[in-house]
Amino acid sequence: MHDAPPLRAPGSASVGAAAMAPPRAYQVWEGSNVFFLGGRFIFGPDVRSLFLTIFLIIGPVAIFCVFVARKLMDKFSHHTGICIMVFAVAFTLYDLCLLLLTSGRDPGIIPRNSKPPEPEDFDGSIDVGGIQTPQLRLPRMKDVIVNGITVKIKYCDTCMLYRPPRCSHCSICNNCVERFDHHCPWVGQCIGLRNYRFFYMFVFSTTLLCFYVFAFCWVYIKKIMDAEETNVWRAMSKTPASIALIIYSFISVWFVGGLSVFHLYLIGTNQTTYENFRYRYDRRANPYNRGLLANFKEIFVSRIPPSKNNFQARVLPEQGLQPRQSAGGFMSPNMGKDVVDIEVGRKAMAWGEHDAASAIDIDAGLRNDTVDDKDGGLNESTLSFEHILPIESIDGSEVGAFEHHRRRSSLGSSGS
């Protein structure tokens, strides 16, 4: 008589299957980004500054609607007064949408490689006559041709790839970003290929919003002057909210307005902020400048390329890098060096540091690698080339000790 199988709680199979499901890409992301809504929105690590930016936009507009626009509805005809209020609210919502499109999308992150690329002149074999060739060191920089001008691209030790032209590694987000412009702390995100258009539209629309609030505050003061037949100072004293908004918008317009003009110049010359401060194309040829009209079309009309990352996709467990052979393979440009990555802003770990930390000296290597096996013979499998130095680097005493130990091992094996 067989026992009945144990009863399972409803839904336990689905819960177990969900627990065993591989994680999604955003859950194992190696960058410093912050994700929301299951990877649908990606922000920088300083996303909290975004709330300050939203407050600096909504706060003044709310004061304007309550203390200025609402009073102007009585000063103007019914439809004109309502239009002033509606336009202020609608334009603010439009500005916030541009802010979200700038801050919450992939700016153009290039996926990392799981292993370094192979040198271009590598033929696929590292054994020559049974002897392994030395390791091949990857070049630190490579030359590519862009519109007939030679441009140098740099190897990124963090992402293990050669950065495409105009790409740079953001030290805050810890990602390589295409057409990297800068990391904006006000939006909490890198500004790159896929969000630069929305960034400029956000800055420009904020400038227009400042002008709008500034202008209608003066209109309200003028209406008070006409209604009470008084001077400007007495009229301003009757609306302190207008005075505060005039000062606030005047200061803000210098910041966002100056930023709009500066990026208008960058767009017209097809530069990024990073290139403008680092390369100074006014002193050298700009390989990306295609003319004023073509430059503006590239930013505002051209199709935005899709993201190269699917943050919601399931990620299979990675096998990890295979252990490198000490006498063959490829080496990072920084292997064996104490190199500081200037663009990353932190010290890059040189390849082979883990091996160096666990390395042993030649005496210990000879003692450990030349032990007898259980039959009395020499364990030849442990005598690898990576533990034996050239014979010229060992003094006579060490050579003699090694030869004496080898003879004793051979005698022991022949006797057994």
**Residue 170 is a catalytic residue:** no
In this prediction, residue 357 carries a pLDDT of 41
Q: What is the pLDDT of residue 136?
A: 59
For the chain (416 residues), the mean pLDDT of every run of 10, in chain order, is: 51 55 89 92 93 96 94 82 92 97 95 82 50 61 86 90 93 94 95 96 97 96 89 91 96 96 95 87 81 94 93 74 42 50 40 41 40 40 37 40 45 42
Q: Are strands 136-137 and 330-331 parallel, antiparallel or unpaired?
A: parallel
Residues of the chain by 3-state class (helix, strand, coil), percent to 5: 45, 10, 40
Token reading at 359: 């390395």
DSSP 314: B
Tokens representing 182?
A: 């800068």
> What pTM was computed for the model?
0.71
What token pair was written down for 197? 């258009």
Spatial distance between the Cα atoms of 81 and 77, rounded to a whole number of angstroms: 6
Residue among 176, 184, 190, 210 flagged as catalytic: 184
**pLDDT value of position 68:** 93
Residue owning tokens 């939203």: 54
